[in-house]
Amino acid sequence: MTDSLTLLPAVDVQGGQAVQLVQGVAGSEKTFGDPRAAALRWQEAGASWLHLVDLDAAFGRGSNADVIGPIARELSLNVELSGGIRDDESLARALATGCRRVNIGTAALENPAWCERIIAEHGDRIGIAIDVRGTKLAARGWVREGGDWGKAIDRLSAAGCRTFVVTDVKSDGMLTGPNLELLAAVCGRTDADVIASGGIAQLDDLRALRDLVPLGVAGAIIGTALYVGNFTLEEALEVAEG
């Protein structure tokens, strides 16, 4: 097992633009321009992965497929694609972009049997996004609450899920630091890789996450902190890789 942390810079796309939301709330976004330019910037800075999100698809109000598809197909990054993937048709479209992995979010709550089937069919190309508010799962647009997050982890681990992307909704976009206790608790329930999402504000946060690598934290998604200039991706990679 490697002791380095894989970093996934985030490019969240809304209305054709790269944005960052606060706590996943529509209308809270700051806009950062052309998504492809952002993705290229992270690739040139040394990223090996990209966390690419279609926010309009996630909120059920449209699609940015014409922007997202070319990024996934044409860049050399491994792309983790999220947003609005909740049935066979949307999954097929996402996989057809050539992305390395798709993240299933709301559908994991609403249709766990479907998630189990697609994990069986597609293996490690399927990741499950676990968005947590307190002890509960947060669902579509982070407005509704689902069931107990631990039960979801148990069921989908048993189905063979190899990657969970774990977001503490309260910390997302807030630059308040990652929820280390939650991440350690998730690692304690699964042998799958755990990707930390939300709250990363400074390089010390990445150092703290790197300490959790032996437990199963394999990567970290960084968004707002990069876009507002708290640190550079080069600095972050140096910390993450040790």
Check 54, 56, 131, 193 and give the catalytic one.
Answer: 131
Continuous segment of H or E residues that includes residue 132: strand 126-133
Q: How far apart are CA 226 and CA 199, in angstroms?
A: 12
Tokens found for residue 4: 């380095």
Annotation says 12 is catalytic: yes
- Residue from 175, 168, 164 nearest 204 by CA: 175
Q: What are phi and psi of 125, to 5 degrees?
A: -80, -5
Q: How far apart are CA 113 and CA 214, in angstroms?
A: 31
Sign for the pseudo-dihedral over CA of 187, 193, 198, 199? positive
Q: Are the C-beta atoms of 171 and 179 separated by less than 8 Å? A: yes
SS3 state of residue 6: strand
Q: Are the C-beta atoms of 1 and 214 separated by less than 8 Å? A: yes
Q: How far apart are CA 109 and CA 138, in angstroms?
A: 9
Annotation says 168 is catalytic: no
- Residue from 36, 28, 32 nearest 19 by CA: 32
Q: CA angle, corner 47, sides to 41 and 48, nearest 5?
A: 130
- The residues carrying an active-site annotation are 12, 131
